[in-house]
Homo-oligomer: A and B are copies of this chain.
């Protein structure tokens, strides 16, 4: 059996990947070597057009649905109604973020789709079509919540609800998508027979283990508690201290306590407050209102429940200490879930076949794949992040690791498409030496 990384087409796929990745990395490039490509911004529009052009040239039909999700469908099977194998991720980013988060999975899917299409044209037969997808608004940075496009596709929220999400300037997602020409009207494809997402790890597990492929078996739970502290606007000068009802002070007590909670379970629990809105946020004015979200993550359900109770107690206590009123307008829970074994086994087999060291591991961060979990067989393949740096311009995955993930993704997609989309059947397929015709 030939390792796919030494096959001629693996090299062509890698070249196609790097070329498109470099082009897309220029969309929203920052002086610090990263990108700022907020959802439905002009830069996002540029990246979306590059993705569409590249996949269209490779033989895909492009659909854009009502929330701007882009589906590049490569017709590999004979006739309509074939099952679909879907790979993808997102092109939007956090502010001053890295080039790899999300973009890696989308560009890899585009390159893999092109490779499969070449194989099809060279005479290979497939039992499923292939779709490379770019989900709208995964980050939740400009439009909230996160996993917006994949969540809408998977039925977690209505299209109208997603489109009415507003950024801090009051612009709706509908207006922003319309502005860049990506408010689509296409009916999205049906749920795939299998969904796979290549993503950078954003953590240190692979690097420490010196493994190049992470097979995600479990998704950490995430509890998010939205908090509003309402105090009273006052002059910071003459207002006597005991009369002040300072909403920012309550937020400070809470932020410190949320960190304190994390100290109880080292390594098993993560917590944070990343975003805070202060009103009126003016010098000489005691803050009247603060809005923030407490984020709690763990792979242990009992622990997550305990932590959420502690956080709610901390919210009440912080409000009391600062003499303000606390409200909790929203709570969301992304439950702890396992990813299907058959998909994990398929990825492991593909890594083994390409002689790559793989590791089964958790994902702490949410990814679009999590939106589809439970709806269809779903897998996540991680590649190492240098130093675990993420959501930062210095984020880096080395070319060899990018290509390792690409090889595994290509092989898994090839097997899945051969097997009509079923991960169980794909496990039985082996790649014949002559399956790919090399470059043409």
Contacts and interface: CB of A to CB of B under 8 A. Distances in A.
A141 B271 CA distance: 33
Q: Which 6 pairs between the two chains have the least Cβ-Cβ distance?
A: A237-B365, A203-B238, A252-B255, A235-B390, A236-B272, A95-B280
Interface stretch (A56-64, A283-291, A371-379): A283-291
Given A95-B280, A96-B280, A284-B140, A249 B259 contact: yes
Contact of A283 (B141, B255, B279): B141
Contacts of A140: 282-284
Q: How many copies does the complex hold?
A: 2
5 contacts: A202-B237, A233-B393, A252-B254, A274-B284, A285-B391
Interface stretch (A111-119, A157-165, A176-184, A239-247): A239-247
Contact of A248 (B255, B262, B266, B297): B255
Contact of A273 (B202, B248, B297, B366): B248
A364 interface: yes
Contacts of A273: 248
Contacts of A238: 201-203, 270, 363-365, 388, 390
**Interface SS of chain A: helix, strand, loop or mixed?**
loop
A440 interface: no
Given A246-B272, A256-B256, A237 B283 contact: no
A50 interface: no
Contacts of A263: 241
Contact of A285 (B203, B246, B254, B274): B274
A337 interface: no
Interface in A56-98: 94-96
B283 A366 contact: no
Nearest to A269: B241
Given A249-B259, A252-B256, A270 B237 contact: yes
